[in-house]
Structure 1
Amino acid sequence: MRRLIRSALTALSIAWLAASFAVLISDHALAQQAGGPPMQLKQIALTQKQIDGVIAAEKDMDAITSKLQPDAKPDAKVLAQLDGVAKKNGFAGYDEYGNVMDNIALVYGGIDPASKKYVGSEAVIKQQIAQVQADKKMSAKDKKQALDDLNSALKQPEPTIENKGNIDLVVQNFDKLAPVMGDDQQ
């Protein structure tokens, strides 16, 4: 059930990205909550060094963000800590780290976890809908909510990935990225 909830959340993230391309995915949302207007997703060509930096930063980033209350605006101290972790792991700062995470998420959401091939977010969402419908252990209320969320995500336009090389890079690193992306139970 934990995986299905995460799948639904991933689908919602993909849908939200597709609809607005705003930079509110993963930990980068914290910087936006600090008061700045939503930025547009700047698609970049990812490098292996950036992927490795994101993976290396995961534990420290989680340690900082896990202490925050949901929807709480991070203070300057927390933002400085996040910036420090990003710099320690090869990024210019937390903004660059967040942009890399967003670009990874854009591709990651379209990878079929079973085949580990890029199939697009629409196909992944359809698979998740089938999984929720087949789940006999999920409560009717949770199932309805998950299906509503997934069907809503399915209605969003498929995001266009400008840097096709990002697909191969994220697919190659799929297993290493799964814990970072909140999908550690493949």
Structure 2
Amino acid sequence: MPLSFRPVVVALGVGVFAVAVASVSSSAVFAQANKAAPAAPAVAEPAMKEITLTEKQVQGVLAAYKDIDAVAAKLPDDQDTKPDPKVLKQLDDVAKKHGFASYDEYSDVIEAIGMVLAGVDPKTKTYVGPAAALKDQIAAVEADTKMSADDKKQALADLNEAAKDPGPAVTNKTNIELVLKNYDALSQALDDDE
């Protein structure tokens, strides 16, 4: 995988994680909206690949996420802007320091963890799948009386859009068990970045 910087997932909170994972398909919506304008052929988003996680990889993510986030903060916000090669090397160096072959491997592990987290019911800490988790999040937002009307409207719009294509369900039971075993630590680590 090229360093496309699948958004450094740890920069996202667990509460909106399902939306982030599902939003990978949003570029297809953007491409459709721009279909009328003549342009270069659209490049399809790479499909998320489900790798088999190891305990060592999960512990590596927990150890590396703060260091990775600090370096990733130096990346340009605009994905069309070419990142500084020195920053890319720093990302690789930090990933290697924490036991990964490269930043690409770290990203693959984050993606696999994210696929599981996107389908976890945070109340029961069980894997229910991304569609059910999104439905639960929609219900929670609808029931939230403390959220402003504008925030609620935006959150519901985002969640309903994500629910149209909630992303793939995880088929690797080992990944589910491993992420659930480390759910509290992973949730805390990801929530720290909000």
TM-score by length of 1: 0.78
Cα distance between partner residues in 2 of 1:86 and 1:37: 27
| Partner residue, 1:78 | 87
Q: 1:164 to 1:132 in 2, by over 3 A?
A: same
Cα distance between partner residues in 2 of 1:128 and 1:37: 28
Aligned 1:130-169 pairs, distance under 5 A = 130-169=139-178
Cα distance between partner residues in 2 of 1:174 and 1:135: 24
Cα distance between partner residues in 1 of 2:48 and 2:163: 20
Query: Would you say the 8 A contact 1:18–1:157 is kept in 2?
Result: no
- What amino acid maps onto 1:65 in structure 2? A
Cα distance between partner residues in 2 of 1:164 and 1:18: 24
| Partner residue, 1:123 | 132
The one of 58, 65, 74 equivalent to 2:72 is 65
2:106 equivalent to 1:103: no
Cα distance between partner residues in 2 of 1:70 and 1:97: 20
In structure 2, the gaps of 5 or more residues are 1-11, 28-42
Cα distance between partner residues in 1 of 2:59 and 2:22: 26
Query: Percent identity at matched positions?
Result: 52
Cα distance between partner residues in 2 of 1:172 and 1:18: 29
Q: Single out whichever of 100-109 and 36-45 deviates more from structure 2.
A: 36-45
- What amino acid maps onto 1:44 in structure 2? I
Shift of 1:7: 5.8
- What amino acid maps onto 2:115 in structure 1? L
In structure 1, the gaps of 5 or more residues are 21-35
Q: Single out whichever of 65-74 and 140-149 deviates more from structure 2.
A: 65-74
Shift of 1:162: 3.4
Query: Would you say the 8 A contact 1:41–1:102 is kept in 2?
Result: yes
Query: Would you say the 8 A contact 1:118–1:167 is kept in 2?
Result: yes
Q: 1:174 to 1:108 in 2, by over 3 A?
A: same
Aligned 1:3-14 pairs, distance under 5 A = 6=13, 9-14=16-21
- What amino acid maps onto 2:152 in structure 1? K
Aligned-pair Cα RMSD in Å: 2.7
- What amino acid maps onto 2:72 in structure 1? T
| Partner residue, 2:35 | none
Equivalent position SS for 1:162: coil
Shift of 1:131: 1.6
The one of 173, 176, 181 equivalent to 2:190 is 181
TM-score by length of 2: 0.75
Q: Single out whichever of 69-78 and 140-149 deviates more from structure 2.
A: 69-78
Q: 1:157 to 1:69 in 2, by over 3 A?
A: closer
Structure 1 or 2, whichever has the larger Rg, is 2
Aligned 1:7-22 pairs, distance under 5 A = 9-17=16-24
Q: 1:110 to 1:64 in 2, by over 3 A?
A: same
